[in-house]
Amino acid sequence: MNESYVKYIVENNIGVIEFFTPQHNSLPSKILAQLAETIVAAGFDSNSKVLILQSGGNKTFCAGASFDELMTIENEEEGLQFFTGFAKVINAMRQCPKFIIGRIQGKAIGGGVGLASSCDYCLATTNAEIKLSELPVGIGPFVVGPAVERKIGTTAAYELTIDGTNFRSAQWAKQKGMFAEIFDTIELMEEAVNRLSNTLANSSSEAMYEIKKAFWKGTENWNELLLERAAISGRLILSEYSKKFLAEFKGRMKR
């Protein structure tokens, strides 16, 4: 697979939203926009009662922000626009009236941790290590931070943020509450995803909507909060530190 995409397929009242980019499922602005739009549309689709969020391939779930695009940002407005893409995806997931099951087959990095945290229920493999890698880049997990903190608590989120060079295991993520269950193989995870999604597809849509609304209470200010956070990242990515990091990263990739 060499072409990036976002697709939405419905079968037996189960909607599957899948995204893919050849750069380890990292997320450029175009894919972020398509993903947010697809989640919003799926939320209103009467043909589905529950949604599954997954990425293409059998390796990395999501490598976070596209470094190729980060390197092209030249001013604060462009930085704000880029990081607002993550804000729109998280808010679309938060406001979606349907449960979103996360299928996490591999590593989640930076924004990928934000996606997993914004799911209502995550099933993962033992290969699904997580890392908030923003600080080493010279920014911070400002946009995804509220979702991560809500999911695993302030102490664990702070730990991930400060130690941004090391992965935490899938078992650690499960202990902290990010993953509900972890499995040794993708096949076993798939069975669990199918079992849960089929159960929910035969449950009350009204009840599920009211449950989700109740459990996301207190996040009503995120439309404004995440935009404020996006502006911080958009400013910091222009710093000399970040520019140097990205240039060195690009150099390593060319070797």
User: Domain extents for the chain?
Assistant: 5-185
Residue 1: the pLDDT is 65
User: φ and ψ at 50, to 5 degrees?
Assistant: -145, 150
Residue 250: the pLDDT is 76
201-229 tens-digit pLDDT: 999 999 999 999 999 999 999 999 999 99
55-94 tens-digit pLDDT: 999 999 999 999 999 999 999 999 999 999 999 999 999 9
Residue 255: the pLDDT is 56
Structure tokens at 113: 């941790």
Show the low-confidence residues of the chain (pLDDT under 70). Answer: 1, 253-255
Residue 253: the pLDDT is 63
Judged on CB neighbours under 10 Å (0-12, 13-18, 19+), 221 is: exposed
Q: Domain 5-185 falls in which CATH fold?
A: 2-enoyl-CoA Hydratase; Chain A, domain 1 (3.90.226)
Q: What is the dihedral of CA 168, 173, 178, 183, to 10 degrees?
A: 120
pTM, 2 dp? 0.96
Q: What is the dihedral of CA 130, 135, 140, 141, to 10 degrees?
A: 0
Residue 252: the pLDDT is 76
